[in-house]
Homo-oligomer: A and B are copies of this chain.
Amino acid sequence: MPDVEGFWAVVPAGGAGTRLWPLSRAGHPKFLLDLTGSGRTLLQATVDRLGPLTGDRVVVVTGAAHADAVRGQLPGLAADRVLAEPSPRDSMAAIGLGAAVVERTDPDAVVGSFAADHVIPDAAAFHAAVREAVDVARDGHLVTLGVEPTHPATGFGYIRAGERLAGFPTALHAVEFVEKPDAERAAAYVASGEYRWNAGMFVVRAATLLDLLGRWHPDLAAGLREVAADPSRLDDVWPHLTKIAIDHAVAEPAAAAGHVVVVPAPFGWDDVGDFASLAALLPDTDGLTVLGSDDDVTAVDASGLVVASGGRRVAVVGLDDVVVVDTPDAVLVTTRARAQDVKRVVDALKETGRSDLT
Binding site for B on A (CB under 8 A): 21-22, 298, 300-301, 310, 312-319, 322, 324, 326, 328-335, 337-338, 341-342, 344-345, 348-349, 352, 354, 357
Nearest-CB residue, chain B, relative to A322: B333
Q: Are A331 and B318 in contact (CB under 8 A)?
A: no
Of the listed residues A312, A316, A332, the one surrounded by the most CB atoms of chain B closer than 10 A to its CB is: A312
With A300-B344, A313-B357, A354-B313 as known contacts, state yes or no: A318 contacts B338, CB within 8 Å.
yes
Interfacial chain B residues near A357, Cβ < 8 Å: 313
Nearest-CB residue, chain B, relative to A332: B315
Tell me how far the C-beta of A152 lies from the nearest C-beta in chain B, rounded to whole angstroms. 22
Interfacial chain B residues near A322, Cβ < 8 Å: 319, 333
Among B316, B329, B337, B354, the residue within 8 A (CB) of A334 is B316
Q: Are B338 and A317 in contact (CB under 8 A)?
A: yes
How many copies of this protein are present in the complex? 2
Interfacial chain B residues near A300, Cβ < 8 Å: 341, 344-345, 348
Q: Are B298 and A349 in contact (CB under 8 A)?
A: yes
Interfacial chain B residues near A316, Cβ < 8 Å: 332-334
Nearest-CB residue, chain B, relative to A313: B330
Interfacial chain B residues near A312, Cβ < 8 Å: 328-331
Interfacial chain B residues near A332, Cβ < 8 Å: 315-317
With A301-B338, A324-B333, A331-B326 as known contacts, state yes or no: A345 contacts B22, CB within 8 Å.
no
Q: Are A319 and B298 in contact (CB under 8 A)?
A: no
Q: Are B301 and A345 in contact (CB under 8 A)?
A: no
Complex Cα distance, B300 from A332, in Å, reads 11
Complex Cα distance, B315 from A160, in Å, reads 40
Tell me how far the C-beta of A208 lies from the nearest C-beta in chain B, rounded to whole angstroms. 45
- Listed by A's residue number, 9 A-B pairs whose Cβ atoms lie within 8 Å are A22-B313, A298-B348, A301-B338, A313-B331, A314-B333, A315-B331, A315-B334, A322-B333, A331-B331
Complex Cα distance, B347 from A298, in Å, reads 10
Q: Are B349 and A333 in contact (CB under 8 A)?
A: no
Complex Cα distance, B22 from A331, in Å, reads 15
Tell me how far the C-beta of A356 lies from the nearest C-beta in chain B, rounded to whole angstroms. 10
Q: Are B313 and A329 in contact (CB under 8 A)?
A: yes
Q: Are B330 and A318 in contact (CB under 8 A)?
A: no
Q: Are B313 and A334 in contact (CB under 8 A)?
A: no
Q: Are A317 and B331 in contact (CB under 8 A)?
A: no
Complex Cα distance, B68 from A246, in Å, reads 68
